[in-house]
Structure 1
Amino acid sequence: MMGYTKQGLFTISGQCLFKSKNLLNMTDRDLEKIRGKEIAMIPQNAGQSLTPNLKIGYQIEETLKLHSTINTKDRRLKITELLHKVRLPSPNIMAQRYPHELSGGQQQRVAIAMALAGSPKLLLLDEPTTGLDVTTQAHVLELLNEIAKDTDTSMVYVSHDLGAIAQVSDRVIVMYAGEIVLDGNVREVLSAPLHPYAYGLLNSIPKLSLPGLPEAMPGTPPGL
């Protein structure tokens, strides 16, 4: 959607509209104008997306320089505000730390703060709770729900974790072999999936109440 991996990809059919413009047909120059400002991304494994030898505050400030015209003093205040918004303790101290000095959950919150720095209308989240313990996952999902309500920001949450999807989504789109095979209300899709792949995803979740192994889908994935 953001045009970072165009090489080797092609569109069979359909379009990806943002503000009535098809992102799939936009040039790199046009996409550059909306990356980070209109559309921002929160990556999987946030710790690997942060520059290890730069302080947290500096990395957020670089984002603010790109997408705002505020002066240095106001940028510093904005950094503190963003770190506070994502519930990091002692924002001023946290801004002076390096990524390796933070826990996995704290790194994820920094990635969220950086994504919010440009005040985007759309957030893309790629498995944002991967590698986090269950308690931290719950806190991150709660934070994302609050952000969506407080900032009127839309979110696209990409994940195989149906439990997380149920907590943060209103609408679910199931893709298989690069194509959309199911689209509907989150409750309808997760309670009564109408496609074998969606059904298989639900039944692959381990359940303590049922004996034996999780149910596997028959056959093999199609060749791509």
Structure 2
Amino acid sequence: MSDSASSLLLVEDDEVIRKTVVMTLERYGYAVSAAGDGLTGLELFRAGGHDLLLLDVMLPGLDGIGLCRKVRETSVVPILMMSARGDALDVVSGLEAGADDYVVKPFDTAVLVARIRSLLRRSAIAAPAAESAVVFGDLRIDLAGLVVTLAGRPVALAPTELRLLLEFAASPGIVLDRHHLLREVWDYGWDGDSRVVDLCVQRLRKKIGADRIETVRGFGYKLRR
């Protein structure tokens, strides 16, 4: 079943899991490069050409969290973290390091492919056509070019951060709850962990200003007009 021509980079130290995932993803039409340790994974990433990274948390040499941070120094490529236990600390650390989503091992193939498809869709967002740009003070969102500037300077946003900002910008001053944001931004039927939303909001605040997105306790978040 051919699904996509996208190029993926898998960094997983367990050889059996690595080979199984590579074969599975290739059956869906993905081109997959693979590495068994973090440093080799970093070299492959720097060689370029990947549309999405899948990083195991526990890796020799350079762990998945460290690798994620290294990638985020230069790139907004979508990152899916893989955690063996779904340990809360692993999940939080990965999301804080800049990952867009996570999946817990052992995972169902259908779940993994759904997460990958979702992340790739987020990285190819179609801009709304109603307006060319929206402005909130010194924050400007160019909807045609999907470029965000703050006080005239470009702001580098990962795909999920950009989608989250666009969702807020579509309803300024309106409180959006976490379930709504999970459904609309993470765009699949996953009744997931709200920490994904909270940590992405935190990352977005660091880039566009801490006071720009207001927390409405017990309800959710809203973008200040």
The TM-score with structure 2 as length reference comes to: 0.32
More strand by share: 2
**Which structure's CA Rg is the greater one?**
1
The TM-score with structure 1 as length reference comes to: 0.32
More helix by share: 1
Higher relative contact order (CA 8 A, sep 6+): 1
